[in-house]
Amino acid sequence: MTTGENAGRVVAERNGQGTSPGAAGEGDAVIELSDVTFGYTAAPVIEDVDLAVEAGEYVAVVGPNGSGKSTLMKLMLGLLRPDEGEARLFGEPSHAFDDGERVGYVSQHASAAKEMPITVREVVKMGRFPHVGFGRLSSDDWAVVDEALATVGMSAFADRRITRLSGGQRQRAFIARSLAGEADLLVLDEPTVGVDAESVEAFYDLLESLNDDGITVLLIEHDLGAVVDHADRVVCLNREVYFDGPTDEFVGSDALARAFGAAAGVLGGDR
Amino acid sequence: MTFPTGAVRALAAAVADPPTASPAAILLQSGGSPLDPVLAPIYFLLELWSLLMAALGDATGLELLRYGFMHRAILVGLCIGVMAPLIGTFLVHRQLALIGDALAHTAFAGVAVGLFLNGVFSLGVSPYLTAVVVAVLAALLIEVISEVTDAYNDVSMAIVLSTGFALGTVLISLNAGGLAVGINQYLFGNLATVSAENAAILLVLFGIIVATVALTRNQLLYVTFDETAAEVSGIPVKWYNRVMVMLTALVVVGAMQIMGVILVAAMLVVPVAGATQVSRSFTGSLLTSVVLAELAVLLGIGFSYYGEATAGGVIVLVAVAIYVVAVAVGKVREARGDDAAPELGGIDADDGAA
């Protein structure tokens, strides 16, 4: 049993119960933002954003630096609460959502910069914590952990101290952690920063195959090439949504130029 | 702060219960605290421990095992050696090493409140109990301030620290006279003043701390390592942070008896820093820090007894010496290249689709 299969099965089970079968209506939205406005100060970072991500979608959010991508993600996950409007996750208000085993999260900065002694396997193990609560990991849980390590090619590094690894290796460990969680929704905030080029390609293939298994993928990315190649749908953001639609249409549109401003203009001008 | 040996041994001989004393004798000796009925079962355990230590003393001929107060001091030391690094590990890796210091100083205010109440109302309550209450409240205050301002900051920690200490000194000076005599024992700790009641209080704190960490170890680890991911995974981070600072307050008060207000924070930090140098895994570092702390406590108590120096200071010096050795061991290991890179596998995309 592979990690992906497992997760796919979980999705299938979940969809089978609770919601009416086959109904892909409004109620099925995994993430739903309605008229969301948010600012850390008086000036809004996010303004009037309306967005819904349905189960099984592969959505990429792009935009220049400082465009509010990460803030948008935090609003979606309930780490921040909107000043106006409403954010919902799996049909519940995001800030009140606590069924953590349904959400996998890979952050932009590998947070292991501090000198904490902890092995790669111990990090990946955390992905199982929402499933085990106060209990111990069963042998099945450990099997999922080792499977996730194998999937990202880090089995040989399982007992390494994570702070002693390169940025790319570390990022793989965090990806493995989100895989071990067997979530229905994967949220990735620039997950391939610092990962070597070949691995990036393989990593996007992995995301695609997870998506094929029914896992909803939300990718926040500055690498427009990767987005165009892999995502089904693109949301182009700079405080407001400039474009939201299929990737093909995005490539032909002028949304990027407008969002990035005339000066930046072309693809990849966000650095 | 040091105990002149001759005087202390005379005092010990006079005060210390002989190993054969019955629990009832200990009850009498502890001065009839209102808590005695509640703590009675623990007094019984203490008595058993004392018998065990006395037997060990007879077997080994160690002089320091002859006194009842040393039996309790060793037990308290052993408990500190477990609980301080246990909590300290979670604090150090969140860059919260100084919170122990801040809480110790507010605990001192708690001690002063206890002495004050005892002086005014003759309650006969151990000042360590009021210290627990005040330190836990201060811990919650620090945590709530940090939640509101969105960061732990040095300044608020420094303010809480000095406020606590200032409050303590003022209360004590208001209440001056006989009370000032007992202050050194709280500031610097003392092996000879670990009463049965205070040892029993420590055992209760120890139980609470170890049980809480054992139950919530997964959550505490996740919150310590990656607060945002922990929040996303549905862990109420705010509550675990509050639990953590409250546990820190309990550890600090418990360890204060031997370590004293001023040095207690060292036990939260130094063994953990040493373990960090030589461990790879989190579990490993937790166990290593406990071993290092126990080593420091036992050697420290031994040295301070025979060297006639104050226990808290000696324990900390031993701990720092152990830390230095750990740093050296860590460097040597690194130089030997134990961490040669294994081969990195490819990301297996097919795995997901299989």
B270-310 pLDDT per residue, tens: 999 999 999 989 999 999 999 999 999 999 999 998 888 88
The secondary element (H helix, E strand) that includes residue A237 is strand A233-238
Amino acid B310 reads T
Provide the pLDDT for residue B9.
45
B353: its two tokens: 């689709």
Sequence-separated (6 or more) residues with CB below 8 Å from residue A19: A27, A28
The residue in chain B having the minimum alpha-carbon distance to the alpha carbon of residue A169 is B344
The separation between CA B323 and the C-alpha centre of its own chain, rounded to angstroms, equals 18
Percent of residues, chain B, with pLDDT higher than 90 = 37
What are the chain B neighbours of A3 within 8 Å (beta carbons)?
A: 351-352
On whether the CB atoms of residues B314 and B303 are closer than 8 A, the answer is yes
Provide the pLDDT for residue B284.
94
Percent of residues, chain A, with pLDDT higher than 70 = 83
In the block, tokens 């109302």 appear at: B121
The CA–CA distances, whole Å, from A194 to A198, A213, B120 equal 12, 27, 65
Please state the length of chain A.
271
**283-302 of B, contacting A, C-beta below 8 A:** 283-285
Sequence-separated (6 or more) residues with CB below 8 Å from residue B296: B81, B267, B270, B271, B315, B316, B318, B319, B322
Q: Is the pLDDT of residue A77 over 70?
A: yes
The CA–CA distances, whole Å, from B109 to A1, B106, B128, B135, B137 equal 59, 5, 11, 8, 12
Model pLDDT for residues A1-22, shown as the tens digit of each residue: 444 444 444 444 434 333 333 3
The residue in chain A having the minimum alpha-carbon distance to the alpha carbon of residue B91 is A116
More confident residue, B291 or A226: B291
Give dist(CA A215, CA A205) in Å, integer.
14
Give mean pLDDT in consecutive 10-residue pieces for chain B, a chain of 354 residues: 43 41 40 71 86 86 81 92 95 87 92 85 83 92 82 76 89 68 78 85 93 94 89 89 93 90 91 93 94 95 88 93 95 76 69 42
A97: its two tokens: 């959502």
Q: B122: left (phi > 0), else alpha (psi -120 to 50), else beta?
A: left
Model pLDDT for residues A51-72, shown as the tens digit of each residue: 999 999 999 998 888 888 888 9
What are the chain B neighbours of A172 within 8 Å (beta carbons)?
A: 347
Model pLDDT for residues A100-137, shown as the tens digit of each residue: 788 888 886 655 556 789 999 999 999 999 888 888 88
In chain A, the largest separation of any two C-alpha atoms, in whole Å, equals 56
Domain ranges of chain B: 5-265
Model pLDDT for residues B222-236, shown as the tens digit of each residue: 999 888 888 888 888
B224 and A116 within 8 Å at the Cβ level: the answer is yes
Say whether residue A260 is in contact with chain B using an 8 A CB cutoff: no
Q: How many CB atoms lie within 10 A of CB A252?
A: 7
Under 8 Å CB pairs connecting chains A and B tally to 154
Percent of residues, chain A, with pLDDT higher than 90 = 15
* Complex prediction ipTM: 0.80
Provide the pLDDT for residue B180.
54
Q: A63: left (phi > 0), else alpha (psi -120 to 50), else beta?
A: left
Rg over alpha carbons for chain A, rounded to the nearest Å, is 18
The secondary element (H helix, E strand) that includes residue B119 is helix B99-121
- Give all strands (DSSP E) within A135-175, no chain letters: none
Model pLDDT for residues A143-168, shown as the tens digit of each residue: 999 999 998 888 888 998 888 887 77
What are the chain B neighbours of A107 within 8 Å (beta carbons)?
A: 226, 228-229
B288: its two tokens: 């290593």
Fold (CATH) for B5-265:
ABC transporter involved in vitamin B12 uptake, BtuC (1.10.3470)
The CA–CA distances, whole Å, from A181 to A184, A185, B22, B177, B216 equal 9, 10, 56, 63, 19
Provide the pLDDT for residue A119.
92
Say whether residue B30 is in contact with chain A using an 8 A CB cutoff: no
Provide the pLDDT for residue B176.
62
Q: Which 3 state secondary structure label does DSSP give B4?
A: coil
DSSP state of A21: T
Query: Given 2.70.210.12, 3.40.50.2000, 3.40.1190.20, 3.40.50.300, which CATH number is that of A3-18+28-260?
Result: 3.40.50.300
Give dist(CA B86, CA B286) in Å, integer.
6
